[in-house]
Amino acid sequence: MEIEIKGARENNLKNISVTLKDGLTVVTGISGSGKSSLVFDTLYHESNRRLIELFGYSRKWSSQRSSYK
C-alpha cells in the first residue's frame, strides 16, 4: 500500500507531493525544511481522518450485522 500526498501546503510546505512506499520511512532535512509539517500536520491528520472514517464504516457494518440475528 502506498500513501500519496499531493499539493501539501502546511506551514513551510509549498505545494509538495510525495509518495510513501510500504515499510519504514524516515524524514530528514535541515531545520525549518518542513519535516514536522509533513509528518504531523499533513500525514497524521489525514491518517486520523481515514481511521475515523473506517471506524464509522465498521460501526455501521457491525450494527447492520447484529440486526440480522
- pLDDT tens string 6-53: 999 988 899 999 998 889 989 999 999 999 999 888 888 888 888 888
Structure confidence at residue 1 as a pLDDT band (50, 70, 90): confident
- Collect all residues with Cβ–Cβ distance below 8 Å to 8 and sequence separation of at least 6: 15, 16, 17, 18, 37, 38, 42
Q: Which domain holds residue 15?
A: 3-66
According to the model, what pLDDT value does residue 2 have?
A: 82
- What is the SS3 assignment for 67? coil
Q: How many CB atoms lie within 10 A of CB 34?
A: 19
Q: Which three cell numbers stand for residue 13?
A: 510546505
Question: How many angstroms separate the first and last alpha carbons of the chain?
Answer: 35
Q: Count structural domains, the chain.
A: 1
> What pTM was estimated for this model as a whole?
0.62
